[in-house]
């Protein structure tokens, strides 16, 4: 936003002046959120008036978080299974996979009109403080003790719970279990020492370094590693910190070919690159392993002689993105309810949220219709010890250990601030 232009190369500690500037920048972002030039599609709660519901199955519009493995099959499965359990409710999924994060577009989640929104926590403050959503109704709530600690932290604003946690996510460092040198790596400098400044062929990092949101998130990862305290981190979001960009330059220097190629952005290219042993490590969300394991299972692409990595061959560590160390950061995707949803709408929304949080629903999604584990991270902690899941995806206990105590950032305008930062970094990094 505008504040980032004030001191382009300033690396500063928070002062009263800079904190005020941060607050003003976030206020501008909040106003932009509220004033988006959005489309006119209406939710059930917006259409109903006087408590009257149309005859037949009651419509319920839901935004699902779209960036999951096999999303089209997933959303269709949800509609079918929910209809079977609740034939009196007609579920309509609002597909925002074209531009969920892109403000000032019709497919932006801030422009959506629905009864239930599955929100990335980067938006939670925007939706809550702009009153687009209401505090989570009691009928939709599940006790906090059933969820991971970071999942609980990531659904509240000013002590008020707005969301029912569904997924958690964050960036990890994956490597071959036989590669003992990478076990325990906890600083960017150690990672650089292990990978080396002059990359041997196929011994670098498979990582996607394109996209405004992706690069903005890596910048924030580095800021969390370095500064830890959120009030300090916010200053380095609002006022661009070249030293954090240097961390990403170091990462770029270690990446395998293709990491700055836009044609690979948002695809399984990097997971496959790692799984085929064309890169030493993989940086990404846990669900990137779904793409890796699909390659390993496809004998037409990966024969025994190719030595592709299978589930048991892979290990994981925290991702260090700064010389000061690593402090795990995560996001939480949670189900929230539109502020206009009342009475019967709340009852139907709660039925959907409860359905999505059932163990049977989770397990069908996690095990994958094709037999390849999705490797998504459920917010519900009991799933991490299920033997039927661990038989196919052994890394869940390790992933839980890393992610559960992580820091979950959220603030007004954070999404736009990070995307603006990512746009600048994308212009600065070498093309490779």
Give all domains of the chain, ordered by start, each with its CATH number.
Answer: 34-169+332-403 (3.40.190.10), 172-328 (3.40.190.10)
Helix (H) or strand (E) holding 270, with range, is: helix 269-275
Tell me, what's the pLDDT at 1? 29
d(CA 277, CA 173): 15
d(CA 184, CA 195): 14
Tokens describing residue 364:
């069908």
Q: Is 232 helix (H, G, I), strand (E, B) or coil?
A: helix
Tell me, what's the pLDDT at 148? 98
Q: For the whole model, what pTM was predicted?
A: 0.90
Residue pair 414/224 in contact (Cβ under 8 Å)? The answer is no
Tell me, what's the pLDDT at 18? 53
Predicted confidence pLDDT, tens digits, the chain (432 residues): 233 322 333 334 445 555 555 555 555 555 555 544 565 455 665 555 444 555 789 999 999 999 999 999 999 999 999 999 999 999 999 999 998 999 877 789 999 999 999 999 999 999 999 999 999 999 999 999 999 999 999 999 999 999 999 999 999 999 999 999 999 999 999 999 999 865 667 789 999 999 999 999 999 999 999 998 999 999 999 999 999 999 999 999 999 989 999 999 999 999 999 999 999 999 999 999 999 999 999 988 887 767 899 999 999 999 999 999 889 999 999 999 999 999 999 999 999 999 999 999 999 999 998 999 999 999 999 999 999 999 999 999 999 999 999 999 999 999 999 999 999 999 999 986
Kindly report each contact of residues 194-202 with a partner whose C-beta sits within 8 Å and lies 24 or more positions away, as own/partner: 195/254, 195/280, 195/281, 196/254, 197/253, 199/254, 199/256, 202/256, 202/277, 202/278, 202/279, 202/280
Residue pair 162/66 in contact (Cβ under 8 Å)? The answer is no
**Which residues lie closer than 8 Å to 418 by C-beta, 6 or more apart?**
122, 212, 213, 216, 217, 219, 220, 237
d(CA 268, CA 186): 26
Tell me, what's the pLDDT at 15? 55
């Amino acid at each position: 936003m505008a504040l980032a232009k004030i001191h382009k190369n300033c690396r500063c500690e928070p002062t009263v002046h800079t904190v005020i500037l941060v607050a003003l920048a976030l206020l501008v972002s909040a106003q932009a959120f509220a004033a988006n030039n959005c489309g006119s599609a209406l939710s059930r709660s917006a259409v109903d008036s006087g408590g009257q519901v149309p005859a037949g199955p009651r419509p319920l519009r839901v935004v699902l978080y779209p960036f999951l493995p096999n999303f089209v099959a997933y959303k269709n499965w949800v509609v079918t299974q929910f209809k079977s359990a609740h034939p009196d409710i007609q579920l309509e999924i609002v597909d925002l996979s074209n531009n969920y994060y892109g403000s000032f577009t019709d497919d932006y989640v801030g422009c959506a009109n629905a009864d239930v929104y599955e929100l990335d926590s980067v938006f939670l403050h925007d939706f809550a403080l702009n009153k687009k959503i209401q505090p989570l109704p009691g009928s939709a709530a599940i006790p906090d003790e059933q969820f991971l600690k970071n999942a609980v932290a990531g659904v509240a604003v000013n002590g008020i719970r707005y969301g029912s946690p569904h997924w958690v996510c964050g960036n990890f460092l994956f490597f071959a279990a036989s590669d003992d040198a990478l076990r325990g790596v906890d600083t960017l400098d150690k990672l650089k020492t292990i990978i080396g400044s002059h990359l041997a062929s196929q011994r670098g990092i498979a990582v996607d370094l394109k996209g405004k949101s992706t690069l903005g998130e890596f910048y924030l990862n580095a800021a969390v590693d370095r500064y830890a305290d959120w009030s300090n981190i916010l200053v380095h979001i609002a006022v661009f910190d070249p030293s954090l960009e240097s961390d990403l330059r170091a990462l770029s220097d270690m990446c395998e070919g293709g990491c700055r190629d836009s044609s690979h952005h948002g695809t399984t290219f990097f997971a496959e690159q790692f799984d085929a042993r064309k890169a030493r490590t993989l940086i990404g969300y846990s669900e990137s392993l779904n793409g890796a394991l699909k390659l390993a299972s496809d004998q037409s692409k990966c024969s025994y002689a190719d030595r592709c990595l299978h589930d048991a061959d892979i290990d994981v560590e925290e991702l260090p993105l700064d010389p000061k160390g690593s402090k795990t950061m995560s996001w939480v995707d949670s189900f929230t309810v539109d502020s206009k949803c009342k009475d019967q709408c709340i009852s139907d929304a709660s039925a959907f949220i409860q359905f999505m949080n059932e163990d049977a629903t989770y397990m069908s999604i996690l095990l994958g219709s094709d037999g390849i584990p999705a490797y998504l991270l459920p917010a519900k902690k009991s799933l991490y010890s299920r033997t039927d899941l661990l038989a196919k995806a052994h890394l869940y206990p390790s992933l839980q250990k890393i992610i559960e105590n992580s820091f979950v950032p959220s603030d007004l305008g954070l999404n736009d601030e990070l995307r603006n930062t990512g746009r600048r970094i994308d212009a600065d990094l070498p093309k490779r």
